[in-house]
Amino acid sequence: MQYKWVLFDADETLFHFDAYQGLQLMFSRFDVDFTRQDFLHYQKVNQPLWVDYQDGKLTASELQNIRFESWAEKLAVSTQKLNSDFLNAMAEICQLLPGAQELIDSLTGRVNMGIITNGFTQLQTVRLEKVGLANRFSPLVISEEVGVAKPDIGIFNHAFDMMGHPDKESVLMVGDNPHSDILGGLNAGIHTCWLNSHGAEKPQDIDPHYQVSSLCELRALLTTKMSA
């Protein structure tokens, strides 16, 4: 097989990330009926924060706290509690994406698998344990712990250190976000596969080595390479 390592993003690559459902669950425990309109207001704050986080303009802690400031004031609780409760709720509702289990099973024992995620520590480890995959991925590289986020090459270099500096031609990065996963992998000098589940237009000047529409398609692609 061409690849000895397959590195995955987590959210919307292996795991379905339904923030609205998670927020509804979390706020229900404060007796708040969190509506779709509430979610739209939340995202107006949250989404630009993630861009700043990926660009290195915000820390993980700043992002986690700023996005809940208005709700913390309304509910008279700390932003830290709301963020922690949200991550716990997301862990409770976590689900693998269609084809993820089959893909992971098919690669186990044939390639090394790791995760590089811009998500937060509290969610990642619990979620992997819940779906029984805690021992399938090494390294598990989390931006909150490293101090830099994809697409910064620093988080990839940290992963390479943990991987024993393999030949970069033998490493494939798989992710759904072209601006963090694919551009980050390209900048780090490794091969990339864009999981484009929604048929989005490819961003200009970002050229993944492969593009698939599902994890089933990715499994077929990698199976072909393993048998070639």
Say if residue 139 is preceded by a cis peptide, omega within 30 of 0. Answer: yes
Beta bridge partners of 95: 16
Q: Where are the alpha helices (DSSP H) in 57-99?
A: 60-66, 69-75, 79-92
Per-residue pLDDT tens over the stretch 57-81 = 999 999 999 999 999 999 999 999 9
Environment class of residue 67 by beta-carbon count within 10 Å: exposed (0-12), middle (13-18) or buried (19+)?
A: buried
* pLDDT for res 1: 60
* pLDDT for res 225: 72
Task: Specify whether 105 is catalytic.
Answer: no
* pLDDT for res 62: 97
Q: Which of 9, 11, 85, 176 is catalytic?
A: 9
Domain boundaries, the chain: 5-16+96-227, 19-92
Average pLDDT for the chain: 95
CATH class of 19-92: mainly alpha
Q: Is the pLDDT of residue 228 over 60?
A: no
User: Per the structure block, which two tokens stand in for 82?
Assistant: 């709301």
Q: Is the pLDDT of residue 128 over 80?
A: yes
* pLDDT for res 223: 86
Supply the DSSP string of 16-56, one letter for each residue.
E--HHHHHHHHHHTTT----HHHHHHHHHHHHHHHHHHHTT
* pLDDT for res 125: 87
* pLDDT for res 23: 98
Beta bridge partners of 171: 5
* pLDDT for res 224: 82
Per-residue pLDDT tens over the stretch 85-120 = 999 999 999 999 999 999 999 999 999 999 999 999
Instruction: Find the mean pLDDT for residues 186-213.
Output: 97
Confidence of residue 214 (pLDDT cuts 50, 70, 90): very high
User: Nearest 5°: CA angle at 18, between 80 and 5?
Assistant: 95
Per-residue pLDDT tens over the stretch 168-178 = 999 999 999 99
User: Per the structure block, which two tokens stand in for 203?
Assistant: 């961003």
* pLDDT for res 2: 84
Confidence of residue 226 (pLDDT cuts 50, 70, 90): low
116 closest CA partner among 50, 194, 174, 54: 174
What HEC string does 103-154 produce?
Answer: HHHHHECCEEEEEEECCCHHHHHHHHHHCCCCCCCCCEEEHHHHCCCCCCHH
Instruction: Find the mean pLDDT for residues 38-50.
Output: 98
The CATH classification number of 5-16+96-227 equals 3.40.50.1000
The rounded percent of the chain whose pLDDT value lies above 70 is 98
